[in-house]
Amino acid sequence: MVEGGGDPAGDLGSTATTSCGQPEVLHLRRSRKERDRLEPVLDSSRSDELQSPSSQLLTILRRDLVAADLQISLFISAAKTYRQDSSLSPFPPMFTTPDGSKDTTGLQSVIREIPPVSTLKRQLELKSSQLSGQLLQLLLWILTGGQSQLSLRCLSKEEAGEKLALVCGNLSSSNLPTYVLEVKTANTARWLAENDGSDTFHAFHGSRLDNWHSILHHGLQQHRAKNSLFGEGIYLSPELGVSLSYSSRGLGWEASQLGNCLACVCLAQVRHHESVKIHSEDPRRGRVEGSEGGQLPHKYILVRNNDLLHIRYLLVYGQPISSSPHPSRSRFRAWLDSNRMMLVLAAYGLLLLTVGLSNSAVVRRWLRKSGLLQ
């Protein structure tokens, strides 16, 4: 819950609380049935490689429309943020110029041409799509997962309940996600094989919306941590409400059927190791050497090795546009959440300008002539 999360000292977004689960870490072992079901991501796309680009795109949309919508939404959220230098990673290679610079202006122009996924699916089925070659390339790059081969699959209600039960007991209605998606990358099969038979548990991680494009492709990375009050590393929690407090809603894709104001939390599988710190009276497990904040707080987990955890599921909180009572207000609040730092800097600049002008002799003379200052 740092960059891509946050620690207890970080800024909080929208708050939510829950009593699901207990703070104690849950020990889990994967069943053989689960291991057998996890195949390399490439297997599902081998047949697609033999199709034309338009046919390949249609196949992806038919396979899982919700997952496709979300991948596009997360990409657009990262592309629109003022932090895109760090959030928009990986960057689509078709918008990289020969000298290695990024054509962000061209990318923004093409993004505006993306139709809603249901409309795009219908157009492709009727062979009436007017997608430009560059837009078709971009959509295929997003939906096939680029170099990391990111793949999302929307779970049924029953499957989602089973996965959330890995950590939580009964969730309150306010904390129930709209969708739960399974996450796979090119590294998933390898990580599961290397940790086969290991003692593992699951925990949540929260982050702002525009971070998730990068997080899902690269995994949770401790070097992206902004705050390290209780030690450097990746902060997680066994309680969903704690992680939700770091997952402020942000602006996604205006044409998304999931809603353009979303929040996400991931459920990661973690291997027990001495580098995984939990709240404990044992200083070897509950405290990081050199920690400014002392002992790790209750309900927090700190992972100090990127290889000890892997994202397995993504919880999505959205509101379909048609059911939103105040869509324009939601968009405005989401815009405020996404641009808080920019607004703070603008306000600070305005304050400095006001102080400077008030101390200016020229301005004071003008105000006296105008009768505005005695």
At 257-311, the pLDDT tens digits run 999 899 999 999 999 888 888 766 665 666 666 566 667 778 888 888 899 999 9
Query: Which residues in the chain land under pLDDT 70?
Result: 1-50, 169-173, 224-230, 279-294, 319-342, 373-374
pLDDT value at residue 282? 64
Which pTM does this prediction carry?
Answer: 0.73
At 85-101, the pLDDT tens digits run 889 999 999 999 999 99
pLDDT value at residue 49? 53
pLDDT value at residue 283? 59
pLDDT value at residue 364? 74
pLDDT value at residue 363? 74
Contacts for 150 with CB less than 8 Å, ≥ 6 apart: 41, 71, 183, 184, 185, 216, 217
pLDDT value at residue 359? 79
Task: Determine how many CB atoms are found less than 10 A away from the CB of residue 305.
Answer: 14
